[in-house]
Structure 1
């Protein structure tokens, strides 16, 4: 495990920034996805876009 961490340590800031990008983009996808399904449900098709949410 220490050997693995010794290889990863120089790239720690890249991993942290990549993790932040993944978290922010997944949050945006959830927010826009729910907003889009609500728009389609209420505005366009009258209840057809559930997307399993």
Structure 2
């Protein structure tokens, strides 16, 4: 995967993180924000948007 694709996936993961944090914070308060950040990180890593090289 080239750097542009990795950066684009990282951007998608960050956007998902922001949305999750806002929604979870609104509905569940501070504990929701924590879980929203955790879920956003997992989504970013599973999408392949991590910044480290593989292999």
Q: TM-score, normalised by structure 1?
A: 0.52
Q: Which residue of 2 aligns with 1:46?
A: 29
3-state SS in 1 of match to 2:30: coil
RMSD: 1.7
Q: Which fold has the larger relative contact order, with Cα–Cα distance below 8 Å and residues 6 or more apart in sequence?
A: 2
Q: CA deviation at 1:46?
A: 2.2
Q: Which residue of 2 aligns with 1:37?
A: 21
Q: TM-score, normalised by structure 2?
A: 0.51
Q: Which has the larger radius of gyration?
A: 1
Unaligned runs of 5+ in 1: 1-14
Unaligned runs of 5+ in 2: 38-55
